[in-house]
Amino acid sequence: MNERESDCTVRAMRQSDGHVAIVVRNLTLHAEGQLSLDSKASTPAAVDYLISALAADLLGGIGREASRAGITLEDAEMSLAGRLDNPLVALGVEGETGSPALSSVTGTLYVSADADAETLASLWSRALARAPVYSTLSRCASLRIELKLVP
């Protein structure tokens, strides 16, 4: 059996202040930790990065599919909201039950392009089928992301 080289390698170090430094290739990211409900947090938390990774995966995918089809995306923007089964379990609140797992992600992809609705829907379907983060998360959470055309 041939072993493939890793497609992604990450090194992470816990900092003395509780934050996490993450090194990916020549980039350093910083995370608040697992989950933060603080609207004034100085860095994203792990769950924020997870939902952000999904957005990057899907926006990159729709862009690639449009480019392959010779379609110009004039604008593409996505709004996503993730929901945990019970965030209080993730925060370590005693007596809480359930799971800290991501249970759902809902959102909308807004697209303005030089193509009709049917063509864009086809591109979106191909982008979803080829998206690694989307495919992985869809195995464990409900994902409902709607495509909306913007004139």
**Could you please report the per-residue DSSP string of 88-112?**
HHHTT-TT--S--SEEEEEEEEEEE
Measure the CA dihedral 49/51/56/62, to 10°: 170
- CATH code of the region 46-149: 3.30.300.20
pLDDT per position as a tens digit, 37-54: 888 988 999 999 999 999
Per the DSSP assignment, residues forming a β-bridge with 147 are 109
Give the mean pLDDT of 106-132: 97
Q: Residue range 66-89: average pLDDT?
A: 96
Q: What tens digit of pLDDT does each residue of 124-144 get?
A: 999 999 999 999 999 999 999
Task: For residue 12, count other CB atoms closer than 10 A to its CB.
Answer: 12
Per-residue pLDDT at 114 exceeds 90 = yes
- Average pLDDT (108-127) is 97
Q: What's the pLDDT score for residue 35?
A: 87
End-to-end, the C-alpha distance of the chain in Å comes to 51
| SS3 of residue 17 by DSSP | coil
Tokens coding 93: 């609140």
% of the chain with per-residue pLDDT over 90:
86
Contact by Cβ (8 Å): 62, 78: no
What residue spans of 17-150 are helical by DSSP H? 46-68, 87-90, 117-129, 132-137
Q: Tell me the domain boundaries of the chain.
A: 46-149
Closest CA to 7 of 21, 19, 24: 24
| Mean pLDDT on 19-26 | 94
pTM over 0.85: yes
